Amino acid sequence: MDGDAHPPAPVDGPLAASTCWLLGDAAREVAQGMEKALKGEALRRREYGVLVVLETDGPLSQQEIGRRLAIDRSTMVHVVDVLEGRGLVARTRDRADRRAYSIALTGRGRAFLADVLHPAAAAVQDRLMERLSREDRTRLNRILAQLVMGA
């Protein structure tokens, strides 16, 4: 077990029967795994999230990305600075609001996501989910989507 990792919930008793506790443990495992996987790339999980949002829906304002990922304004500025410094995103003045910035994924950012970051994220997910069948993974994803998106 890593020094940053915490012991898993007990296999019996109230915590083992607590969906909220178990979801928290699973989320913590994923977050720690992603941080470890991205450390070699000098990135954090939140930077990966910004890149994925831009890949899916971009370009977007810094404020909109921060809102979607629950990243506060000052942290969002730092995240974009890091990503822009690596050439993964481009920051330009928003045409609709000259006080705001529009953030777009660069070609280099797209390639980095496809070649490095998405495979790293998939490996973290596979390690956590390896004991589940494909059907259980699909069912779990559907249930989690219902919880967080109201789907």
Where are the domains positioned within the chain?
19-149
Region 19-149: CATH code: 1.10.10.10
Q: Is 99 helix (H, G, I), strand (E, B) or coil?
A: coil
pLDDT in tens, 69-127: 999 999 999 999 999 999 999 999 877 788 888 999 999 999 999 999 999 999 999 99
Query: pTM here?
Result: 0.82
Across the chain, the runs of DSSP E, i.e. the strands, are 60-61, 89-93, 101-105
Dihedral sign (CA 141, 125, 29, 111): negative
Q: What is the mean pLDDT of the chain?
A: 88
State the pLDDT at residue 3: 47
Query: Within 13 Å, how many C-alpha atoms sit on residue 44's CB side?
Result: 8
